[in-house]
DNA sequence: AGCATAAGCGGACTTTACCCCGGATGTGAT
DNA sequence: ATCACATCCGGGGTAAAGTCCGCTTATGCT
């Protein structure tokens, strides 16, 4: 009964479960953040204010989220859960079952709507010092697009490059190139235009 | 010879010439910024330090550039001058004279090289609170791409949308999706891959 | 040259992100 | 139940961004 026969290396990637209080605090902080966001907008969501309102120390906030942008990333990831399930097991054409090109088109429309709906948070989640993949936030797009492209016959295209290009073509406008007011105006009218633009783009790219 | 026969309204857009000392200070600040950048990297370029080293007040720095990111935007714009001249009057295929599709392909390669070379500054110029066009920084790309696309027969495509999509596809990877180390590794090897990716993409989009 | 005025300047001040580390607490093993 | 230890908590401390406003100075007119 020596301790020798149990795995000593704790399976890289799951080094240890999160402590119960830590989990509670994380939830608490996210919930509070949403409240504040709804009431006062992104700018008023300061680290100190969040900590105080959540009844926790500032240090805790930082340990949980690392950075201010990290909070917004966490919120987005949270919202993306639902979205992700639709991709994995929702009805076609967004979910499985439809031809990949149709799914790609549907994905673009859905993602655009998502980005518009969460524009404030999405913008606030951008951290100049880090690339977007860091926050997972976009890995969803990148991975999904990659997965679909792979199923479409595309000649000798460089799949990785094309993936990142299309991801950027889809998300870039909202993350970088459209001003806040653009996006607001766009909420309904140009949202549709964007969706069509995406449809055109991927059709052009994928037609044989 | 009364003052009546000169324009009273100072031609909107050029409300007044910049004062001489202002111009001098701007130059001084940009020069100093470049020095500091070369010596110590972006992170050490703080507003206070810049002001002090340039022998000016902090207020001056802010009036000139508005924000920290603004300094980097100004530096980039500066570097883009040369670039822009190549587009307008350099040799083909980058400059005028070649078929638009070739110019578009050449532009992508050149722009990618530019973004890679200036990656640090470019990243630092991103201001989460503002859209990129604000800084002109990308208007160059957007306008040039738009101009070229316009010369290519593209069926009933939505030119504005396609422009912003392609701009994002070209620049997004460097601005958002590639980590600093990615880009460094990429300096030579994948730079080429990116250029090829761009060539493929625009060919796909533009083939009839 | 002298004047009126708008533009520019400086640097103290405020706010906020992010760091640090001594002390408290949950956890898994005995 | 107890213990050892990793993890977590708290909140004061630092540095840097961005604001403000009274003073200075260039500019263009007479």
Half-sphere exposure of B97 (CA within 13 A, CB side): 10
Is pTM beyond 0.75? Reply is: yes
Write down the pLDDT at residue A126.
87
Q: Is the pLDDT of residue A115 over 80?
A: yes
Contact between residue B164 and residue A132 where contact means Cβ atoms under 8 Å apart? no
Q: How confident is the model at residue A5 (pLDDT cuts 50, 70, 90)?
A: very low
- Which residues from chain B sit within 8 angstroms of residue A171, using beta carbons? 168, 172, 176
Q: What percent of chain B has pLDDT over 90?
A: 69
Per-residue model confidence as pLDDT tens digits over B87-96: 999 999 999 9
Strand C: which bases are under 7 Å from protein Cβ?
A: 6-13, 15-21, 25-30
Residue nearest to nucleotide C20 (CA to C1'): A59
Q: How confident is the model at residue A138 (pLDDT cuts 50, 70, 90)?
A: low
Per-residue pLDDT band at A127 (split at 50, 70, 90): confident
Distance B14 CA to C17 C1' (A): 38
Cβ of A66 near strand D (under 7 Å)? The reply is no
Chain B residues contacting A via beta carbons under 8 Å: 69, 123-124, 126-134, 138, 142, 157-158, 161-162, 164-173, 175-180, 182, 193-194, 196-198, 200-201, 204-205
Residue B162's pLDDT is what? 96
d(CA A180, CA A120): 8
Name the residues contacting strand C (CB < 7 Å). Answer: A 3, 17, 19-21, 45-48, 58-59, 62, 67-69; B 15-16, 18-19, 21-22, 24-25, 56-60, 62-64
Q: Specify the pLDDT at position B8.
A: 43
Look at residues A22, A24, A42, A25 and name the one whose alpha carbon lies nearest to residue A34.
A42
Task: Please report the pLDDT score of residue B6 as a whole number.
Answer: 41
Strand D reaches within 7 A of the A128 CB: no
Q: For residues A25 and A10, what is the distance between their CA atoms, to the nearest angstrom?
A: 25
Q: Do A131 and B176 touch (CB under 8 A)?
A: yes
What pLDDT shows up at residue B157? 86
DSSP H or E stretch at residue B163: helix B159-172
Measure A47 CA to C17 C1' (Å). Answer: 8
Mean pLDDT of A107-120: 94
pLDDT of residue A19: 84
A35 CB burial (10 A radius; 0-12, 13-18, 19+): middle
In contact, A83 and A138? CB cutoff 8 Å: no
User: Mean of the per-residue pLDDT values for chain A?
Assistant: 86
Quick check: A1 pLDDT over 60? no
Structure-model confidence comparison of residues B138 and A85, the more confident one? A85
The per-residue pLDDT for A2 is 43
Q: A79: pLDDT confidence band, cut at 50, 70 and 90?
A: very high
Q: Which residue has the higher pLDDT, B106 or A119?
A: B106
- Say what the pLDDT of residue A58 is: 92
| pLDDT tens per residue across span A147-198 | 999 999 998 889 999 999 999 999 999 988 776 666 666 666 778 899 999 9
Residue A6 has pLDDT above 80, yes or no: no
Contact between B153 and B208 under an 8 Å Cβ cutoff? The reply is yes
Task: Judge if the beta carbon of A49 is closer than 7 A to nucleic acid strand D.
Answer: no
Find all residues with CB under 8 Å of A189, minimum gap 6, and list them.
none
> What's the CA dihedral at A160, A162, A163, A166 to 10 degrees?
160
Q: Work out the minimum CA distance from A97 to partner chain B, whole angstroms.
A: 26
Q: What is the pLDDT along chain B (208 residues), one digit of tens a residue?
A: 443 344 444 445 455 678 888 899 999 999 999 999 999 999 999 999 999 999 999 999 999 999 999 999 999 999 999 999 999 999 999 999 999 999 999 999 999 999 999 999 999 998 877 766 555 555 899 999 999 999 999 988 899 999 999 999 999 999 887 766 676 776 667 788 999 999 999 999 998 8
């Amino acid at each position: 009964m020596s301790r020798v026969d149990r795995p000593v290396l704790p399976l890289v990637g799951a080094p240890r479960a999160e402590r119960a209080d830590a989990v509670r605090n994380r939830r608490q902080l996210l919930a509070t953040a949403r409240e504040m966001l709804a009431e006062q907008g992104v700018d008023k969501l300061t680290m100190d204010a969040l900590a105080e309102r959540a009844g926790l120390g500032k240090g805790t906030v930082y340990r949980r989220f690392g950075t201010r942008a990290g909070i917004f990333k966490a919120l987005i990831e949270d919202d993306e859960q639902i979205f992700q399930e639709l991709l994995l097991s929702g009805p076609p054409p967004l979910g499985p079952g439809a031809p990949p090109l149709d799914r790609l088109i549907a994905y673009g429309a859905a993602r655009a709507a998502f980005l518009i709906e969460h524009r404030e948070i999405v913008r606030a989640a951008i951290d100049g010092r880090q690339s977007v993949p860091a926050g997972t936030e976009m890995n969803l797009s990148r991975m999904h697009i990659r997965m679909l492209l792979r199923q479409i016959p595309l000649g000798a295209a460089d799949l990785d490059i094309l993936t990142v290009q299309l991801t950027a073509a889809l998300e870039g406008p909202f993350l970088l190139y459209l001003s806040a007011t653009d996006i607001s105006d766009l909420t309904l009218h140009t949202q549709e235009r964007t969706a069509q633009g995406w449809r055109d783009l991927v059709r052009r790219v994928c037609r044989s």
